[in-house]
Amino acid sequence: MVYSNLQIFIVELIGTFLLVVFATGSIVYDAEVFDGKLGIPFAALAPFIALLIGVYAFGKISLAHFNPAVTIGYYITGHITKIQVVYYFTAEIIGAFLGSFFILSFVGEQANLGVNMPNYDFPIFLIFPVEVLASAMLMGVIFYVVYTKGLRGFSGVAIGGIVGLDILFLAFISGASMNPARALAPALLSGSLSDLWLYLTAPFVGTIIAAFLFRNKFQAQRASNYE
């Protein structure tokens, strides 16, 4: 079944909203209620759950990007068109801001609305590559699931799982956003803009690298389908 750009827009908005509510809301809730004691494991579990829901609910309609950096990766491999990139980007940004407004209205405003923060105990020459690596691994897992028929039923577990694992093991260095929309909304609404440049650049670098690594495989697969 072919879905319209409007249908894609709607589910991407809802999915990104859900992801931002869980990903940033977990951080704010932890700060508001537990004084941050739940920490990174809780912050890793929440987006896993959100993606588990979002991928299985909306994956057949929009491929469940919920992330502008992932959208660029899919564009490079030819899965979506230029005009669809506009629909995806717009939906993802609106969904992210609605998610942050929801957190601000119903959860709280501590922890700068769950804004991503790198750990400057490490040098920026390590922080930036780690954020690139986290994003590349996310895109790589997404493509691997897409290209491997036997794994498609596990897409939500795999994609949510790699996000959770990236956060669990890499957030203490780079913040592990992997998602410019998720980073943008709380940063702008809280006024915490000093580290935003990192999350508007490194995730795109990571997903673009992964996309170029997988592009030939996708083109070969598409060609074989026409033989």
CATH code, 189: 1.20.1080.10
Check: CB of residue 183 under 8 Å from CB of residue 155: no
Q: What is the mean pLDDT of residues 125-131?
A: 98
User: What pLDDT was estimated at residue 226?
Assistant: 46
pTM (2 d.p.) = 0.94
Q: What is the mean pLDDT of residues 136-144?
A: 96
Model confidence pLDDT, tens digit, residues 55-82: 999 999 999 999 999 999 999 999 999 9
| Percent above pLDDT 70 for the chain | 94
User: What pLDDT was estimated at residue 148?
Assistant: 77
Neighbours of 193 (CB within 10 A): 11
Taking all residues of the chain, what is their mean pLDDT, rounded to a whole number?
A: 94
Enter the tokens of residue 221.
Answer: 């697969």
Q: What is the mean pLDDT of residues 15-37?
A: 98
Model confidence pLDDT, tens digit, residues 149-207: 666 688 999 999 999 999 999 999 999 999 999 999 999 999 999 999 999 999 999 99
When divided into structural domains, the chain yields a total of 1
User: What pLDDT was estimated at residue 221?
Assistant: 61
Q: What is the rounded distance in angstroms from the CA atom of residue 210 to the CA atom of residue 112? A: 31
Q: What is the rounded distance in angstroms from the CA atom of residue 187 to the CA atom of residue 106? A: 18
Q: What is the rounded distance in angstroms from the CA atom of residue 138 to the CA atom of residue 143? A: 9
User: Domain range for residue 199?
Assistant: 5-225
